[in-house]
Amino acid sequence: MARRPRARSGRLVTLTSDVGSAYAAQMKAALIGAGVAPEQVIDLAHDLPAHGLREAAFLLREMARGFPSSTVHVAVVDPGVGGRRAPIVIGTRAGPTLVGPDNGLLIPLAEELGVRASYRIDPARLRRRRPVGTTFEGRDVFAPAAALLVKGTRPSALGPRILPRPYSIPEAARTSAGARGEVLHVDRFGNLVTNVPTGWIGPAVADLRFALGSGRPRSVPWVTRYESLGRGVLGALGSSFGLVEVAVGEGRASDRLRADVGSTVVLAWGPRPAVRGANANSARPRKRR
Amino acid sequence: MARRPRARSGRLVTLTSDVGSAYAAQMKAALIGAGVAPEQVIDLAHDLPAHGLREAAFLLREMARGFPSSTVHVAVVDPGVGGRRAPIVIGTRAGPTLVGPDNGLLIPLAEELGVRASYRIDPARLRRRRPVGTTFEGRDVFAPAAALLVKGTRPSALGPRILPRPYSIPEAARTSAGARGEVLHVDRFGNLVTNVPTGWIGPAVADLRFALGSGRPRSVPWVTRYESLGRGVLGALGSSFGLVEVAVGEGRASDRLRADVGSTVVLAWGPRPAVRGANANSARPRKRR
Amino acid sequence: MARRPRARSGRLVTLTSDVGSAYAAQMKAALIGAGVAPEQVIDLAHDLPAHGLREAAFLLREMARGFPSSTVHVAVVDPGVGGRRAPIVIGTRAGPTLVGPDNGLLIPLAEELGVRASYRIDPARLRRRRPVGTTFEGRDVFAPAAALLVKGTRPSALGPRILPRPYSIPEAARTSAGARGEVLHVDRFGNLVTNVPTGWIGPAVADLRFALGSGRPRSVPWVTRYESLGRGVLGALGSSFGLVEVAVGEGRASDRLRADVGSTVVLAWGPRPAVRGANANSARPRKRR
């Protein structure tokens, strides 16, 4: 992963959360109030599914790609189940620094970037205007920590070393006939992004057999662009994430299939039957959004 | 259209789409990764109605007004029906450069600015980190193209000349009694913005006869501010777009009338009856949002 | 309230509204078109509940905290009931300048910052490209006014002195057994933020009796973090606003209780019963979002 672009206007802070715009604004105010310039603060998304930790961990990793190596990524999605978890900061070998809850949210991105060391943020080491004791760590702990980090404080200065809780994005498994995986993300169009790598499906495949959970398998076209799916036609294609995506032409696959993040997806495929014309799907994949 | 303000911090890139925040963040990351400064990137809207090409073409034209002549406007709304369409860039006589799909989305804005020349973007001429072959042209083609454009690449260097597909925002027609048009935009308040120019309705009008599609005409007040409509009262007024807007006082006209983008609107009007007091609507229009 | 950070890149303009992204983009374009740099413009929220004046007045005050004393806060939430109200600008003793409708929206923030003087904005004193007479004051009056203010125009130069309409965020009342208040804000998670100060509830309290309106009181745990509420358990805790918040573990209190902004909340509390272990809620409050 190349992360070369320089920061023109100082190091950047990205913000990702499920807290909505009003709380996100308070995080931004805390950063600006701590001396971070507005142009250093970049909202990635604040409308992630509420408490959707797994989906957020996946999207954070995808959204954070391309930012300069000096970037501080702050993420806040925290369903609040289970016991106490610490606020943490993770330094990475690729450069970016991650700030957020120790609930797994940061781990897929951290592992992609290569974990260097993680620290539990000690609130006493932050310069904050508000007292400890609120319920909004994004504003009261993560934002002040990020402000210190962009101004040069080292992660190790924020607290004691910690071993973060592990978390892995679920991986699809190969089966004799294809793959078994699950839905990682339902996008705004109701498309189902699975964890099955597009690369597993060979170039000569024209159709997949697809089943949701233990449902009946159905044959669906394996296409290279949304346009190839007629209105209302269920099909599959290689998503922009490099993962198989299940979609309905001009429709919402999530509604049609009543599928959501975590739904099991079973795929099977074989070589393109000779009876089909070679032009049914042109050889070179293209894109469309 | 005056477009004089200078770009302080380099040329600006605006982003407009229906893809939602998570995909939009990836477009932003692609721009920043290509060396565009964060403060050059301006989100206009990413929550436009999914696949709402017509509404988006209208809103893009309205939202893009006022930006410097050096601005690059990137737009991505692409229902994906029909065959292949090219990624294009349009240079305009007024200055701004437009980037997006060749599906009509850019045309109303392009025509307002005056089309100079259009080019099909050749992905081979872009500097990209990701391979060709994904389904997210906004991130993989439009953003890299915009990054080159803001750094001085000329549109003609991005690919061969092309004649974009034509598209026109539907125009209202005069009738003997008034006008026949359609809904161009349903805003967040459920107000129906039609394509009937406000200027068609004279200053002495107090009431309109309004019908949706082939529905029964009803008399509605023609007012100059939302305040003039009592709670739950259906009426019409001159929208901020210079077009007639149908609204319900403190309510949602779209729900009340079950109207949507494309719904036919029939309006008829006459002079203000003498029996009405001159103060019913004060002479000088005022605004309220 | 300390508001010390300097503006690096010129004075900031924050934008808060219920108008949605497409209209907000037009406000931004108007600012940029008037020469304000993009990095000076900060969106706080544009998806506030439509016409939710009371909730917006509360959130604006909360979101505006932390911005530099030179900031211009523009807010547009305007249900449009009642008669004409003026566009106003309020200068404050703490520094920030407020721009918006004279409908109470600005008052809680203005009073926190200390009102110095208020002026009715005279549209004739603005440099605008569009004619007077539209329905979108945010774009046509407030944005041009804010552009002048950030470039040094004094509030008093925008129009004649005015006494703004008063407005107060409803205050909770002490009762013999506890407090009676109301819901000020329903957040994205369905949590109910009331107007009862957290500080009214002593440190030794373990449970509250809670009733919505004239409903039957129920005993709910008074906890210090969301994690302490099991899935589906209704409870209360100190919100990030310093106010009592009613929440459901991993659920939506607003749906469960059918509560909304303005719903009456009755709380009663007593000392922690001796039979409960001291560890039920650890002594020092922590946070979680």
- Average pLDDT score over residue span B71-94: 86
Mean pLDDT over A115-141 rounds to 83
In chain C, the residue whose alpha carbon lies closest to the alpha carbon of A128 is C66
The pLDDT-based confidence of B131 (bands split at 50, 70, 90) is low
The residue among C135 and C152 whose pLDDT is bigger is: C152
Which residues does residue B266 pair with via DSSP β-bridges, in sequence order? B180, B211
ipTM for the whole complex: 0.87
Using CB atoms, pick whichever of C2, C39, C224 lies closest to residue A129.
C2
Q: In this predicted structure, which of B100-109, B219-228, B251-260, C137-146 has the lowest mean pLDDT? A: B219-228
pLDDT of residue A130: 60
**Cβ atoms of residues C213 and C194 within 8 Å:** no
| B129 pLDDT higher than 70 | no
Taking residues A193-201, what's their average pLDDT? 96
Average pLDDT over residues C45-57: 94
* Residue of C19, C28, C35 lying closest to B5 (CB–CB): C35
Q: In this model, does residue A146 exceed pLDDT 50? A: yes
pLDDT in tens, B12-68: 999 999 999 999 999 999 999 999 999 999 999 999 999 899 999 999 999 999 899
Mean pLDDT highest for which of A3-17, A97-111, B83-97? Answer: A97-111
Cβ neighbours of B19 in A, within 8 Å:
187-188, 289
Task: Note whether B25 contacts A12, CB cutoff 8 Å.
Answer: no
Dist. CA B189–CA B288, nearest whole Å = 13
Nearest CA in chain A to B22: A45
Subunits adjacent to chain A (3 or more Cβ pairs under 8 Å):
B, C
Sheet of strand B115-120, all strands in order from the earlier edge strand to the far edge? B41-45, B13-17, B72-76, B97-101, B87-92, B115-120
In the predicted model, is pLDDT for residue C128 greater than 80? no
pLDDT tens-digit series, residues B201-212: 987 888 999 999
Q: What percent of chain B has pLDDT over 70?
A: 87
How confident is the model over C245-249, as a mean pLDDT? Answer: 94
**Predicted pLDDT of residue C271:** 55
List, in sequence order, the alpha helices (H) in chain C: 20-33, 53-63, 107-113, 137, 143-150, 253-257
Mean residue pLDDT of chain C comes to 88
Contact between A238 and B134 using a beta-carbon 8 Å cutoff: yes
In chain A, what residues touch C5 (CB-CB under 8 Å)? 32-35
Which residue among A40, A62, A250 sits closest to B81, beta carbon to beta carbon? A250
Using alpha carbons, select from A150, A121, A156, A46 the residue that is nearest to residue C287.
A121
A241-256 pLDDT, tens digit per residue, is 999 999 998 899 999 9
pLDDT value at B272 more than 80: no
Contact B210, B259 (CB under 8 A): no
The pLDDT of residue C202: 81
Per-residue pLDDT at A48 exceeds 80: yes
Q: How far is A77 from chain C (nearest CA, A)?
A: 7
List the single residue in C with minimal CA-CA distance to B15. C25
CB B284 to CB C137 under 8 A? no
- Within 8 A of B20 by CB-CB distance, chain A residues are 45, 47, 187-188
Return left, alpha or beta for C223; rule: phi > 0 is left, psi -120 to 50 is alpha, else beta: beta
pLDDT value of residue B79 = 78
Which pLDDT band, with edges at 50, 70 and 90, does C2 fall under? very low
Q: Do B80 and A225 touch (CB under 8 A)?
A: yes
Sort B118 into a burial class: Cβ within 10 Å, 0-12 / 13-18 / 19+. buried
Check: CB of residue C136 under 8 Å from CB of residue C111.
no
Q: Do A226 and B29 touch (CB under 8 A)?
A: no
Average pLDDT rounded to a whole number, residues B118-147: 84
Q: How many CA atoms lie within 13 A of B180 on its CB side?
A: 8
Query: Which of the two residues, C248 and A225, has the higher pLDDT score?
Result: C248
Give me the pLDDT at residue C288, please.
40
Contacts of C18 in chain B (CB under 8 A): 188
Helix (H, G, I), strand (E, B) or coil at C50: coil
Please compute the mean of the pLDDT values over residues A96-110 and round it to a whole number.
97
B127 vs A171, more confident: A171
- The reported pLDDT for the residue numbered A44 is 97
